[in-house]
Structure formats: structure tokens, C-alpha cells
Amino acid sequence: MHVEELMTLYEMDRNEPPATINHLLDFYQLQYISGKIELDEYMKIYYYLTIHGATNAHELTNHSF
């Protein structure tokens, strides 16, 4: 899968383009968790998205109590 295909899947599923690259990453992670994407494929696009500035929700969470 290429990023262009991922964007098309996102738009078909959500009926709108992703507002940010983070939304695209979140959607992609859900695809992986649901078993629709293999690990090797997931890692390639995950890496691409993160080097282009995407961060996942877990990285944004404040873990201090």
C-alpha cells in the first residue's frame, strides 16, 4: 500500500479527507490493529508518516500523574 491508497481508503471510510497527518496515522493504526494490514507493510508507512511529522495519540498524552 502507498500513502495515496491510504488517503483514498480514509476518504472512502470517513467521507472527507484527513484534517491532519495525525488523523491519517490514527486511521492507519486502526487498520493495522483490526488485522487489515500486515506488520511489514504497517512499519513502512508508519515510518513514512512519522518522518513527515505525524505523531500518534499515545505520544501526545501526558503520562505524569
- The answer to whether residue 22 is domain-embedded is yes
- The answer to whether residue 43 is domain-embedded is yes
pLDDT for position 65: 44
Expressed as residue numbers, the domain containing 23 is 3-56
Please state, in angstroms and rounded to a whole number, the distance separating the CA atoms of residues 16 and 47.
24
- Number of compact structural domains in the chain: 1
Query: Residue 4: pLDDT above 70?
Result: yes
3-state secondary structure 12-45: HHHCCCCCCHHHHHHHHHHHHHCCCCCHHHHHHH
Please state, in angstroms and rounded to a whole number, the distance separating the CA atoms of residues 7 and 25.
10
Between the CA of residue 24 and those of 10, 46, 59, what are the distances in Å? Answer: 7, 10, 15
Write out pLDDT tens, residues 8-52: 999 999 999 999 999 999 999 999 999 999 999 999 999 999 999
pTM: 0.80
- The answer to whether residue 65 is domain-embedded is no
Q: Which pLDDT band holds residue 62 (cuts at 50, 70, 90)?
A: low
Q: Which pLDDT band holds residue 64 (cuts at 50, 70, 90)?
A: very low
- The answer to whether residue 63 is domain-embedded is no
- The answer to whether residue 48 is domain-embedded is yes
